[in-house]
C-alpha cells in the first residue's frame, strides 16, 4: 500500500477521490491539517494539527451503514488492543470516549471502491466544543498517529476480507447510548436506543413500540 503524507490539504477524502478517478489503487492519504475537512451531510469537520486525518481505498461496491460500522469496529479493536482505550460506537459512524464524540467515519463509494475517511481527535489538547473530546483530554497521553492509522487500515481490511464476520456482535457489545433516550433525526422524535439488526439498522422504542431506523443519526438527550 502506498502512503501519501501531506502537510496541508483541503480534504484527504477529496484528494483520495481524485486519485481514484485517475486510476490509482491501494493507497492511503494522511494529512497533518485539513482546511476543508468534511463530515457526514457535508458538515465541516474541524481538523487541527495533532489529530489523525486520513482516507484510504477498499475494493467493495457498497458503502452501507454496515460497512461504516465495520470500520468503527476496527477502530475500536485497535484502540482497545494497542492502547487500552475503551471506546464506544455510536450508530452509525461516531467514535465515542467518555460519552463524547472523539472521531467519525465517512465512507463514500466510487464505482467498485469505497473511500474510507477516518478522523480522530488524538493529540489535541482541547476539542473546543462541549459534546466533543480528544484522546489527549480523555487519557492525558499522546499516541503515534501514523502507527494508529496503519493498524486501523490493517484491521479494517481484515474484517472486510472476513465478510464482516462478528461486526454486528462487536458493535452491539460496544454500542454507545444503549437504553438511553436519544433524538433520532429520521423520526424527528426522542426514542430509547435498543439494538441494531443483523444488517446494521438501528432498533429503537417509542412508548414501548419497537421501530427500525434505516438511516439518519442519533443524539443523546441531556
Ligand atoms: C463524521 O463524523 O461526520 C465523519 C467525519 C469524517 C472525517 C474524516 S477526516 C479524514 C477524511 N477527510 C475528510 O474530509 N473527512 C474524513
Q: What angle do CA 161, 164, 165 make, to 5 degrees?
A: 100
Measured in Å, residue 63 CA sits from the centre of ligand 1 at 14
Is there an atom of ligand 1 within 6 Å of 68 CB? no
Query: How large a percentage of the chain has pLDDT more than 90?
Result: 93
Is there an atom of ligand 1 within 6 Å of 53 CB? yes
Number of other residues whose CB lies within 10 A of the CB of residue 44: 9
Give pLDDT tens digits for 149-174.
999 999 999 999 999 999 999 999 99
Please determine, for residue 222, whether its predicted confidence score (pLDDT) is greater than 80. no
Best probe residue, ligand 1, of 36, 47, 93, 124 (max atoms within 8 Å of C-beta): 47
Is there an atom of ligand 1 within 6 Å of 119 CB? yes
Closest-lying ligand 1 atom to the alpha carbon of residue 13: 12
Please determine, for residue 120, whether its predicted confidence score (pLDDT) is greater than 80. yes
Helix (H), strand (E) at residue 79: helix 65-83
Confidence of residue 78 (pLDDT cuts 50, 70, 90): very high
Q: Tell me, what's the pLDDT at 203?
A: 98
Please determine, for residue 118, whether its predicted confidence score (pLDDT) is greater than 80. yes
Q: Tell me, what's the pLDDT at 57?
A: 97
Closest-lying ligand 1 atom to the alpha carbon of residue 54: 10
Is there an atom of ligand 1 within 6 Å of 48 CB? no
Measured in Å, residue 106 CA sits from the centre of ligand 1 at 5
Please determine, for residue 114, whether its predicted confidence score (pLDDT) is greater than 80. yes
Confidence of residue 195 (pLDDT cuts 50, 70, 90): very high
Give pLDDT tens digits for 9-22.
999 999 999 999 99
Query: How large a percentage of the chain has pLDDT more than 70?
Result: 100
Average pLDDT over residues 109-137: 94
Average pLDDT over residues 81-87: 97
Give pLDDT tens digits for 30-75.
999 999 999 998 999 999 999 999 999 999 988 889 999 999 999 9
Using CA atoms of 185, 95, 4, 27 in order, give the dihedral in degrees to the nearest 10. -80
Is there an atom of ligand 1 within 6 Å of 218 CB? no
Q: Tell me, what's the pLDDT at 11?
A: 98
Count H helices and E strands in the chain, helices first. 5, 12
Best probe residue, ligand 1, of 15, 19, 32, 37 (max atoms within 8 Å of C-beta): 37
Amino acid at each position: 500500500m502506498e502512503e501519501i503524507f501531506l502537510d496541508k490539504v483541503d480534504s484527504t477524502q477529496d484528494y483520495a477521490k481524485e486519485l481514484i478517478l485517475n486510476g490509482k489503487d491501494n493507497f492511503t492519504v494522511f494529512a497533518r491539517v485539513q482546511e476543508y475537512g468534511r463530515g457526514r451531510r457535508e458538515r465541516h469537520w474541524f481538523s487541527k494539527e495533532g489529530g489523525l486525518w486520513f482516507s484510504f481505498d477498499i475494493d467493495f461496491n457498497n458503502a452501507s451503514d454496515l460497512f461504516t460500522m465495520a470500520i468503527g469496529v476496527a477502530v475500536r479493536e485497535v484502540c482497545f488492543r494497542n492502547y487500552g482505550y475503551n471506546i464506544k460506537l455510536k450508530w452509525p459512524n461516531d467514535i465515542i470516549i467518555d460519552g463524547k464524540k472523539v472521531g467519525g467515519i465517512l465512507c463514500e463509494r466510487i464505482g467498485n471502491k469505497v473511500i474510507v475517511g477516518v478522523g480522530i481527535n488524538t493529540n489535541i489538547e482541547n476539542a473546543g466544543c462541549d459534546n466533543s473530546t480528544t484522546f489527549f483530554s480523555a487519557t492525558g497521553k499522546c499516541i503515534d498517529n501514523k502507527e494508529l492509522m496503519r493498524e486501523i487500515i490493517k484491521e479494517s481490511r481484515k474484517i472486510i476480507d472476513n465478510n464482516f464476520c462478528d461486526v454486528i456482535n462487536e458493535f452491539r457489545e460496544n454500542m454507545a447510548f444503549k437504553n438511553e433516550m436519544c433524538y433520532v433525526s429520521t423520526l424527528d422524535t426522542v426514542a430509547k436506543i435498543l439494538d441494531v439488526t443483523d444488517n446494521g439498522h438501528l432498533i429503537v422504542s417509542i412508548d414501548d413500540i419497537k421501530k427500525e431506523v434505516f438511516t439518519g443519526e442519533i443524539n443523546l438527550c441531556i
